[in-house]
A and B are shown apart, each in its own frame.
Chain A
Amino acid sequence: MAGTQHSAAEENKRHKHEGPKKHIIAFIFSILLTIIAFAMVAAGEINTTFIYVMLVVMALIQVFVQMGFWMHMKDRGHVFPIVGILGGVFVVFTIVIMAEYWAWW
């Protein structure tokens, strides 16, 4: 137990109080992506496959930004959180493939 104590102290030194600025930027970015997504669908008249791909890509970017900044996954000391989430994502990936390709035949 004692061995892990020093890492917390290091953590303290490394990043001093971070301001709200980058969180607000992440928020504006998320809002923009959301507006674009809704606008694309509301406008209609574009090739549906293109819309599908764009929607998914924008959702992924938004989630990436939010998890990186708001959930601090980009910070140091987040190896196991990343492994935990990526493990889940990998399994979800296989399940989604299943649902799309193999549930109906």
Chain B
Amino acid sequence: MAHGHKVKRYSGLKDWLTTVDHKKIGILYLLSGGFFFLVGGLEALLIRIQLWKPLNDFVAAHTFNELLTMHGTTMIFLAAMPMIFALMNAIVPLQIGARDVAFPFVNAIGFWTFFAGGVLLNVSWFAGGAPDAGWTAYAPLSTATYSSTHGLDYYVIGLQIAGIGTLVGGINFLATIINMRAPGMSFMRMPMFTWTAFITSALILFAFPALTVGLVAMMFDRVFSANFFEPTNGGNAVLWEHIFWIFGHPEVYILILPAFGVISEVISTFSRKRLFGYSSMVFATVLIGFLGFMVWAHHMFTTGLGPVANALFSIATMLIAVPTGIKIFNWLFTMWGGSIRFTTANLFAVGFVPTFVMGGVTGVMLAAAPADFQYHDSYFVVAHFHYVIVGGLILGLFSGLFYWWPKMFGRMLNETLGKIFFWLFFIGFHLTFFVQHFLGLMGMPRRVWTYLDGLGFNNLNLISTIGAMTMGLGTIVFLINIVVTSAKPRNASNDPWEDGRTLEWTIPSPAPEYNFAQTPLVRGYDAFWKEKMEGKTEMVPAEPLGPIHMPSPSSLPLFMSIGLFIAGLGFMYAKGDYGTGAWAWILHHHIVAIFGLAITLTCMFLRSVFDDHGFHIETDEILRDKGVKA
């Protein structure tokens, strides 16, 4: 099968811009997701500074609205999602014993469109104002009538572009996990992180198209004078709430499930025990994914859907506590009697469990519709979802980053700095958000620019701000850790934690371009641990050593997303008064938008017409890699 195709391999910046290697795309996701995480964090700090004392005027009221909108949007779509994709890209193919993902090219499209959308969204800061209607962009606040600047245009179009990236990324992982598993890796032998990645991808597949339609409808309302959410012409503002939350609630589970997966891996590894109740864990994951689509209206209890709808959604929401509870107990029982090592990764995982339980309990409180009328739109809700998203997802992500950092970069993060980071972040987190429960119960509404003196909010807000600063400090320690680590030699072994249980720990750190020199034969759950228990140090190969076929790098994904970026700008600036010059004619006739779409379609055409023959990595090169490591 070895053909003499010209080997196209780039280096340096060109390599990163054209890569289709899932491990490099994972790093790209991590870099850009990390960048947006810092941007969103900065916005959060500005919000907290504004609220540290009553009647503060650190930022203007309008700026505050922009900050809270962009904080939410950035953190969910541009920080959390890509960092999840970073871990999925870096780890899932390795865990199932695959050489590559199912669609390496599409994977690159996924990253670049996400990136284009994210940049477009943030361009709004420099183009006359960011979106300011909250991350939920409820109509009519977000319609052209009440929001005449371009801020919301950036929101609807930026998220559409980023959404395309997420959707194709999800399809890629579904196909990868279904079709590319190594021999013997049956579904019920898949590591828990792969399972959660699988279910998360399925949720992405079924939830994101709904958001796309909602955003398209809102874009048509704003740009082409449609009437979906415009009550004066028969539109329905509540329809937007429904569509947004039909996407929005599954989105919450899209975020949290991978964290569950990470926690399962980390706790099992550092307890030196098989994950307790693996099959119930799988079942619970699937059930959470399924129920996730039937609870969206619990975000809308106060909208006035009537007692029947409220009761139904109330009960469905409470049901979710059951599979989640199964998971919590499984983690506890995994630790029970294990020889636990408190590495930084495990600290984050162990810290996750009680924190997430607190978020879950307030979730059940909010699920009771009559009580929700009291909590709704107060800081109690803010506290709740930060407990599940930061206390759940973000702790899980940091746990996963410390755990898999050597597999991604070949270097172990510094444990001392890591532990300082954990304690600063963990304590800071609880300081920030624990008190917000009480602020909410005392009646402080969310999304307010400032509050009056003498309402009893002062001290708790001050504590909350101090907590936010502490989290910021912790994040700085993490950044220092990364810099310090990257200066050290690349010497992580295949199995740096020495207790690795799954396939990613059988190959060098970082993994070679082709992942597995020989596809491994999987003989049970915790495949590597099983071999270790039988005294072996590596997997039994399922195939002889031979040349490995690899896909060629391509610059088309980058240009495709640039095309969408240009088209997005073209659409939002088509309306407006530009006088009578040539430029006005070009904008009014959507020439810019058509030009952008033409770039994207041309890229698709080129991809279809010119076959990618790829190239082969020859046996001697694989042997050379092996020799260096041994």
Contact = CB atoms under 8 A, between A and B. Distances in A.
Tell me if chains A and B make direct contact, with any CB pair below 8 A: yes
Judged by DSSP, the binding face of B is: helix
A88 to B, nearest CB: 6
A41 interface: no
A1 B514 CA distance: 13
Contacts of B309: 101-102
Nearest to A1: B519
A1 B99 contact: yes
A91 B210 contact: yes
Contacts of B306: 105
Given A2-B183, A105-B305, A94 B293 contact: yes
Contacts of B238: 102-105
A10 to B, nearest CB: 16
Contacts of B99: 1
Interface string A78-91: 00100010011011
A102 B297 contact: yes
Nearest to A79: B178
Contact of B242 (A4, A80, A103): A103
B571 to A, nearest CB: 26
Interface string B242-284: 1100100000000000000000000000000000000000000
Contacts of A103: 236, 238-239, 242
Contacts of B519: 1-2
B179 A2 contact: no
Given A87-B202, A94-B293, A98-B242, A80 B542 contact: no
Contacts of A98: 242, 246, 297
A40 interface: no
Contacts of B178: 80
B542 A3 contact: yes
Interface string A27-55: 00000000000000000000000000000
A39 B181 CA distance: 52
Which of the listed residues A90, A101, A103 has the most CB atoms from chain B within 10 Å of its own CB? A103
A49 B242 CA distance: 26
B242 A102 contact: yes
Contact of B293 (A91, A101, A104): A91
Contacts of B304: 105
A88 B210 contact: no
A95 B542 contact: no
Contacts of A87: 202, 205-206
B294 A94 contact: yes
B282 to A, nearest CB: 15
A105 B305 CA distance: 6
A95 B202 contact: no
Nearest to A89: B206
A98 B297 CA distance: 9
Interface in B164-190: 178-184
A98 B304 CA distance: 13
Contacts of B183: 2-3
A6 B185 CA distance: 16
B369 to A, nearest CB: 14
Contacts of B57: none
A3 B206 CA distance: 29
A4 B178 CA distance: 11
B543 interface: yes
Which of the listed residues A80, A95, A99, A104 has the most CB atoms from chain B within 10 Å of its own CB? A95
A101 B242 CA distance: 12
Contacts of A99: 239, 242
A90 B181 CA distance: 27
B242 A2 contact: no
Nearest to B549: A1
B229 to A, nearest CB: 11
Given A1-B99, A2-B519, A95-B246, A102 B305 contact: yes
Contacts of A4: 179
A4 B182 CA distance: 9
A12 to B, nearest CB: 18
Given A2-B542, A104-B236, A105-B238, A91 B206 contact: yes
A86 to B, nearest CB: 10
B486 to A, nearest CB: 34
B246 A94 contact: yes
Contacts of A105: 238, 304-306
Interface of B: 99, 178-184, 202, 205-207, 210, 236, 238-239, 242-243, 246, 293-294, 297, 304-306, 309, 519, 542-543
22 contacts: A1-B180, A2-B542, A3-B181, A4-B179, A87-B202, A87-B206, A88-B206, A91-B206, A91-B246, A94-B246, A95-B210, A95-B242, A95-B243, A95-B246, A98-B246, A99-B239, A103-B236, A103-B239, A104-B236, A104-B238, A105-B305, A105-B306
Interface of A: 1-4, 80, 84, 87-88, 90-91, 94-95, 98-99, 101-105
8 closest Cβ contacts across the A-B interface? A3-B183, A91-B206, A98-B242, A103-B239, A102-B305, A87-B206, A80-B178, A91-B293
Given A3-B542, A88-B206, A91-B210, 14 more contacts: A3-B183, A4-B179, A87-B206, A90-B293, A91-B293, A94-B294, A95-B243, A98-B242, A102-B297, A102-B309, A103-B238, A103-B239, A103-B242, A104-B236
